Amino acid sequence: TPEFVKRWNRLATTAGQSWRVDETYVKIRGKWAYLYRALDRAGKTIDFRLSARRDAAAAKAFFAKAIRTQGRAPETITLDGYAASHRAVREMKTDESLPRRTKLRSSKYLSNLIEQVHRHIKSRVNVMLGFKRFRSAAVTLSGIELMHRIRKGQFDLTSIHLKDTTSPSIWMAVLSAR
């Protein structure tokens, strides 16, 4: 999965400037771990990160990773009511790892889009009855996220010059072309 993600990310298109961020939980060896996720307003996946903790440091690490992945900071971030995420954004603005012009919104209704995407993750993970190891959970979740991004068409396939884009062999051609 990490190799597939690396190859597909070369073809990724950038997401929008309005981010919706939320976290959900998954069970790893009987304990809760937290999956931070960000989508743009159109529903494109920006990034995700699995964390053993749900605190301001984990939220800051997620935001830093998402900004690094996108190559730019968002104009607007919509969060739910969880205080640690709000504190992380304020701290990042203070230490200038996030621009001061970034607007912070709090709304449980605007994050309905991301809550619906959590549903897909939960349906896959619940069937597996949790995970045994943190590393295997991270790899499996990255594969699930990659498949959702492929399904949503978040990649620019025009640069690889395929003749038939409807064939199932397109996926193997894309992976071997890069």
CA-angle at 43, arms to 69 and 123, nearest 5°: 100
Residue 40 neighbours by CB under 8 Å, 6+ apart: 15, 16, 17, 18, 19, 20, 46
Q: Would you report the helix, strand and coil content of the chain in percent, each value rounded to 5?
A: 45, 20, 30
Domains and CATH numbers, the chain: 14-155 (3.30.420.10)
Burial (0-12, 13-18, 19+ Cβ within 10 Å), 125: buried
Q: Which strands make up the sheet holding 45-51, listed edge to edge?
A: 45-51, 31-40, 18-28, 76-79, 103-106
pLDDT in single tens digits along all 178 residues of the chain: 889 988 888 888 888 899 999 998 899 998 999 999 999 988 899 999 999 999 999 999 999 999 998 999 999 999 988 899 999 999 999 999 999 999 999 877 766 666 667 777 777 777 777 799 999 999 999 998 898 888 888 888 887 766 655 555 555 566 665 5
Chain CA centroid to CA 141, Å: 10
Q: How many CB atoms lie within 10 A of CB 112?
A: 11
Paired residues of 105 in beta bridges: 78
